[in-house]
Amino acid sequence: MESLEAIRNEFPILSQEVYGKPLVYLDNAATTQKPRCVIQAIEAAYYEANANVHRGVHYLSQLATEHHEAARRSVASFIGAPSPEGLIFTRGTTEAINLVAFCAGEAFFLKPGDEVLISTMEHHSNIVPWQLMCARRGARLRVIPLTPLGELDMDAFRSLLSERTRLVSIAHVSNVLGTVNPVKEVTRLAHEAGALVLLDGAQAIAHTPVNVEEIGADFYAFSAHKIYGPTGIGALYGRPELLDRMPPYMGGGEMIEKVTFEKTTYNSLPFKFEAGTPDYVGSRAFAVALDFVRQIGLETIARHEEELLAYATERLRREFPESFVLGEAPGKGGILSFGIGQIHPFDLGTLLDRMGIAIRTGHHCAEPLLASYGHQAIARASFALYNTREEVDRFFDALHRVVPMLS
C-alpha cells in the first residue's frame, strides 16, 4: 500500500479548512470523496470523447462507445460477474433496487399472498420499493428480526422462508450497524426454498471483496459514489436468464430493437434495461475509481478501516462511559453509530462541524431500524481508506470539548 500521506494527496478536498479548522471527513458511509484520477477522467471524457454512444458512426461516438463498454466490462470484472451482459448501469443502488422490485414483481410474483422478505436493518431504498411492489401485486412484505448484537436472526429467517417466498432482499453490509451479513448462507437457504435473492451492496462494495458468482445471489446493486466514483451512476448485476424473463423498466431509446405503432420489440441485454442516453462520462470515471481501489487492494483498505474502527470504539467506551453503540456484530464494517448520554445527535453534529469534524446525524434512511432500538436519530462516524489515526484523535479532542457544553 502506498503511504497514507500519498493516498491523501490524491484527494484535493481533504486539504481544505472548515470554519478555519482542517477538515476531518468521517461521513464516508454517505458518500466517499473522489481522487484526482476520477475527476480527471470526467474532464477527459468531456474534452476528448463527448458524443452519444451506440448511435453514431463518427469517430467521437465510436470512441465514447468503446470507453462506455470497457467500463461495463471493468465493473462486471470487479464484482466477479461471469459476463458483462448482466451488468446494467443505473443511477445508483436505489434505482437498481427499484428496477428489480418493479420488473421482477411483474415476472415472478404470480398471485396474491406471495411474499418478499427483507430485514429490520434495511435502508429505506430496500424497503419502500418492495412496499410499492407488494401493493401493486397483492404480495406480502415480511421482516427478518435481528439479534441483540445487530445480526440477522438466522433461525427466524429460516422460519419465515416458505413456499410463498418469492424473493429475499437484504443489505450485504448495514449502513447503520456495520453488520456484515452471511450473504452466501442467506442465498443458499433462499434458493433451497425456491426464492430469488437481491443484495444491497451499497455499503459493501468499497470495503470487502465481492464475487457475485461465489455468493450466488440473483441480483446485486451498488453505487459508484460509495467507492470513490462519481455521483449519479451505479450498477445492477442480474443473472441474464432472469433478466431475459423480466419486462423492461422504462421505454425509450437504446432499449428497443424495433418500433412500430403496432408493436415494439426490445433490445438484447443489458441494453433492454438502459433506456435513453446513458451516463457515458460517469461510467468512464466509475471504472477509473475501481482501478484506483484495485491498486490499493480491498483487503488492505478493510484492514485499515477495521483498525480505525477498533481504536475509535475503544476510546469512546473508555472516555465516555455514558455512551452507547448500535451494532456490535463481530467483524463489522468501519461504521461507528453512537450516542452519548441524552445529547441530541443534531446538537452534537452541529458543534463538531464548527470544529471541522464531519459526521452524520439523523435516522440514516433507516427509520424502522432506529425505532427498533428506541431511537429517532443517532450519530455516525464512518471510515475510509484516507482517514488517519490522527483524525480519530482530533475527533475525540473535539468530543471532549463539545460534550461538556451539551451535557
Residues recognised as catalytic: 365
- Supply the angle between the helices 345-354 and 389-406 in degrees, to the nearest 10: 120
Which residue, 374, 387, 394, is CA-closest to 324? Answer: 374
CA dihedral 313, 201, 33, 51 (to 10 degrees): 180
Burial of 324 (0-12, 13-18, 19+ CB in 10 A): middle
Distance CA 207, CA 185 (A): 20
Q: Is 129 exposed, middle or buried (0-12, 13-18, 19+ CB in 10 A)?
A: buried
Ramachandran assignment for 95, one of left (phi > 0), alpha (psi -120 to 50 degrees), beta (any other): alpha
**Residue 203, phi then psi, degrees to nearest 5:** -90, -10
Whole-angstrom Cα distance, residue 96 to residue 343?
37
**Distance between CA 128 and CA 107 in Å, rounded?**
19
Residue corresponding to grid cell 451482459:
85
Closest among 71, 391, 21, 68 to 254, alpha carbons compared: 68
